[in-house]
Structure 1
Amino acid sequence: MRVLVLGAGYAGLTLARDLERRLPADADLTVVNDSPHHLVQHEVHRAIRRPAVADAIQVPLDEALDRAEVVVDRVTAVDRDARTVELAAGDALHYDYCAVCLGAETAYYGIPGLESHSVPLKRVADAETIRKRFFDDCDEGGTVVVGGAGLSGVQVAGELAALRDEEDAHADIVLVEQLDAVAPSFDESFQRAVRDELLDRGVEIRTETTVESVTEATVQTDTGNLDYDLLVWTGGIAGDEAMGGERPAVRADLRLDGRTFVVGDAARAVDADGEPVPASASAALREAKTVAGNIAAQVEFEADADENEFAPRPDPYRFEVPGWIVSVGNGAVAQVGPSIFRGKAAKAMKATVGAGHLTSVGAISRAVDLVDEELHA
């Protein structure tokens, strides 16, 4: 019996660690990831201003996992009919059960020139590129445009504004959003607090502005042209190439079929209440727990098929999170229930989120380092 976990982000690593505990000893568990490290994705923006934080937010998989075999390679295709996974190195892995946790890539929506002229923020290398470009092109006066005012865009804009102020640079930071508010997927009270935090840090906000095309020096929008020296694009997500660039739709049990699950940002999920699940670390972590239980139950059923008459019914996932939090440079905004927090309280909450995740995967020393970086930012 072989169980594959494709990807070791929030969903993949949490799922694999749970399966290590739940699966019988004779079941093979394999994790395939394109890097030997797990990345704390929602802290990558910190590496723009604090390069040393990269060490704290990258956890070696051989430290985080005990019994799982780790294969460092890129998944190129998933054949559900043959139950095989193809890898870039040319190998193919067979599976009895597979959890696709490949996350999502940056979406460019076919906008002319956007992909070739912008920098995304998905990996530590992207943060390093943004930092270098900032000092090369904007330190003596220039304009940084951040496209997309979801939580990722807000955090990038805030971090760049803080870097500008620390270095006494003269760059303008402009945050562009197609919809009518920053953090457009959230409650109005949260949106207002995030907007105020950005404005307090000297970020120019342009909502209701659609990017139509990009040249080497100009972002062309439906409200006029915007000259730039550095363009960072966080405006959307698309599926991994191994899934044909799609994020397949799954229901609350997160199954594509009886043996293949899609978890976290890799899927467009609807939960047990029929509500769409947002692409977020909070959702990915909780989805992983549900899927781990369902896979383990199915493996146990197959192991004792002669004694079990009915296959277990998979548990559904229900999206429930206590709140939301976003860093904005040296500040933060948190929502817990209906209450909104800014200032020291929000900053302290933000520090505990990444550290809590690192602790949950056994990286306690890295959690301490991350808290130190957060609280002294």
Structure 2
Amino acid sequence: MLGGGYAGLMVTRKLEERLPPGDDIVLVDETGDHLVQHELHRTIRYPGFADDITVPLDELVTRATVREATVTDLDPDAGTVALADDGTLDYDAGVVALGSQTADYGIPGVAEHATPLKRLDHAAELRRDFFDAVDPDGGTVVVVGAGLSGVQTAGEFAELADHEGLADDVEVVLVERAETVAPSFPENFRATTRNALRDLGVRLETGTEVTEVTADAVVADDGEIPHDVLAWTGGVRGPDALDGERQDVRADLRLSERTFVAGDAADVVDADGERVPASAQAAVRASPAVARNVERVLDAARADDSVGHLEKWAFETPGWLISVGDDAVAQLGPEVFRGTAANVIKTSVGLTYLAEHGSLRDAIRVVREELGDDRVLPELRDREF
């Protein structure tokens, strides 16, 4: 198992349940920790929150061996993995769940002057940049890319400025190449998200193609946008171990005879012929099918037989959730709403995930941060952890 994010952890736990005791399961991850990625943006405003959304993988698995190492290369056909420490691994069945990297599309200056938001140190750097660059005379924070990550990042900066008493002096600008924010989502979800951002005072620059980034400006096709802080969330590419490519796979999620891909490392067309969005929700929902297909490959190898039918996966979602500062937008079926109800739903999802994969203590801390003590159940609020 390569990668300890949503997909890697979920597939590992499924395999621990399904595979016979004699099968070895190795989980390789470069940090050795599981990061609750969908809450990462919160640490821009609340740096102490980092401890609550980071859980050692050793605490989350029961029989798998966790190896802390960086995957530098792999051969899906041969079943071999090269690691940065000059180590190698061979496998009978493997899953590539290395996630994605932020894409810069070859735009000059992005790597030198912009900070992505994929790791805890990225969030810490963005927070430092804010306090280093923004002063009582004001400043401009620019976030490029208005997908889910970009919307949430812009929302956090707007709330941070307000918390520091700088709301009237700091401008937060969200730049998007498409004509709308959250362009991959239904119109009613996009419209509600737009309204939430505008209510926070975020300036929206949609339909704006970035052509270059300099130390103090984002150069676009229709002019320049000055920046004091620059966050780049404009798209995804594959992991370096796969040469930056997101692997094209069909509904069985198979990359080769013995290798499968899960999570953002894959560009999946599912059993319904639909392209699956790169999201935590999709990674989690695909994991059971990946685990069952791995089991079938191993069963066939033990029987010295060919692999028969592999399960084909179709992505189904009950809806979407997004944080916009202290606000939230939720879509359940055709209905879209925001405010307290949306926040409660989003926080409940986080509570369930952390309680299952982290600890009750961490889950309650998340609720306290997102909802405030006055909305936490009294029997949980007053409990000592």
Q: TM-score range by the shorter chain?
A: over 0.9
Equivalent positions of 1:106-117 (< 5 A) are 106-117=102-113
Which contiguous aligned blocks of 4+ residues in structure 1 show a shift greater than 6 angstroms? none
Q: Equivalent residue of 2:47, what SS? A: coil
Q: Does 1:297 align with 2:281?
A: no
> For the aligned residues, what is the CA RMSD?
1.2
Letter matched to residue 167 of structure 1: E
Q: Equivalent residue of 1:168, what SS? A: coil
Equivalent positions of 1:159-308 (< 5 A) are 159-169=156-166, 170-305=169-304
Give a deviation string over 1:130-175, Cα, whole Å, max 9, x none.
Answer: 1111011013210000000001000000000000001102210000
Conserved? CA contact 2:94–2:260, under 8 Å: yes
Q: Equivalent residue of 1:257, what SS? A: coil
Q: CA deviation at 1:310?
A: 6.3
Q: Does 1:123 align with 2:141?
A: no
Q: Equivalent residue of 2:196, what SS? A: helix
1:47 to 43, 46, 49: 43
Q: CA deviation at 1:376?
A: 2.2
Give ranges in structure 1 of 5+ residues lacking alignment.
Answer: none
- Match in the other structure for 1:340: 336
2:76 to 66, 80, 85: 80
Q: CA deviation at 1:223?
A: 1.3
Q: How far, CA to CA, are the matches of 2:68 and 2:164 in structure 1?
A: 38
Conserved? CA contact 1:24–1:300, under 8 Å: no
- Match in the other structure for 2:2: 6
2:61 to 58, 61, 65: 65
Q: CA deviation at 1:122?
A: 0.3
How many correspondences in the alignment? 370
Letter matched to residue 228 of structure 2: D
- Match in the other structure for 1:34: 30
Q: How far, CA to CA, are the matches of 2:229 and 2:88 in structure 1?
A: 40
What is the TM-score normalised by the length of structure 2? 0.94
Q: CA deviation at 1:279?
A: 0.3
Letter matched to residue 329 of structure 2: V
Q: CA deviation at 1:262?
A: 0.8
Letter matched to residue 160 of structure 1: F
Give a deviation string over 1:342-374, Cα, whole Å, max 9, x none.
Answer: 110001111112222222324332112112211
Letter matched to residue 270 of structure 2: D
Q: How far, CA to CA, are the matches of 1:311 and 1:117 in structure 2?
A: 49
Letter matched to residue 95 of structure 1: Y
1:327 to 308, 323, 346: 323
Q: How far, CA to CA, are the matches of 1:198 and 1:354 in structure 2?
A: 22
Q: How far, CA to CA, are the matches of 2:99 and 2:209 in structure 1?
A: 26
Q: Equivalent residue of 1:119, what SS? A: coil
Q: CA deviation at 1:81?
A: 3.4
Q: CA deviation at 1:298?
A: 2.6
What is the TM-score normalised by the length of structure 1? 0.96
